[in-house]
Structure 1
């Protein structure tokens, strides 16, 4: 599978994992302190070929993603579920631990984060759905993120991601129904 866009990853091990999964070029941020030189490379890559941001599903990865989105807002974003980015043994979490087919699917599902225009799903909706402040809220948010392909978030981030990815109320409700049905089984 060949990818036209340039994939932004955190480091060399991520590049190796991506290149095992697809034929693609990468830009490495070399950790969470993304330099403005790297941002300029990402801007140029976006203009020439497009960019997909694929960072680790952890706090530093999310910090990198936000920084890039702030400076290069038209990039696509791909997410890997935490449970699919765990090493077979040892500690850590990251793209480098994901199977090639997981990386391929994440890249296929990549989406552009748009400026929120309308609040289709309110914070009250999230509260009533048990996605904020309830005993199963974290688990439900994790499952919703998987179903909607927007990654894991805390409650506040979930609301924002639903808006920036312009998730429709119908898609949100369908995902919620799936989560509730899984809980019953």
Structure 2
């Protein structure tokens, strides 16, 4: 697998996993307190080669992703569900615990944010109707939806933005919600 973009990860262990799986270059944020210097390096890498943000599926990882989205809005994003990043001993979550095959699969399914402004197809009412916000099981449903659409977990406020940012169509959304509803019925 040949990746021209620089992959933004959280730390050294993530770099080791990326190099082992795909041999790509990385920039490490060294935690969720991203320095201005690191943000400048990410922006420079975006201008020269492009970047793929590939952070852990936990709160610090989502925080890092949000900071980068704010400063480098056209960065690409790769996601892995939490269960594919759990340490063998069950203590800890991180890209460094993922298999090489899972890392390659996530980097194959990279999302690029839309650069053109278009009408938002999915409304807040759609999210309420799908029980993704303002519902007791909303968090669990958003988790599964994020995995199904490969856009990662988001809180209620960020879901609408993420769906739009990655150009998820109304049809894709409807199909994912239908699959989610079918899964609910099996439980």
Structure 1 length-normalised TM: 0.94
Offset from partner CA, 1:103-144 (integer Å, 9 cap, x none): 111111111223664321111111111111223222211111
Q: Partners in 2 of 1:89 and 1:82 — Cα distance?
A: 15
Matched residue of 1:111: which SS?
A: coil
Q: Tell me by how many angstroms 1:183 deviates.
A: 2.0
Match of 2:148 in 1: 147
* Structure 1 residue ranges without an equivalent (≥5): none
Alignment of 1:61-140 (within 5 A): 61-114=61-114, 117-140=118-141
1:90 Cα offset (Å):
4.0
Q: For the residues of structure 2 that align with 1:13 and 1:117, how far apart are their CA atoms?
A: 39
TM-score, length-normalised on structure 2?
0.93
Aligned length: 185
Report Cα offsets for 1:36-66 as digits up to 9, x if no partner.
1111111121122111000111111111111
1:10-46 Cα shifts (integer Å, max 9, x gaps): 0000001111211200010111111111111111211
For structure 2, the 5+ residue unaligned runs are none
1:19 is aligned to 2:19:
yes
1:52–1:77 Cα contact (<8 Å) kept: yes
Mapped partners of 2:161, 2:74: distance in 1: 16
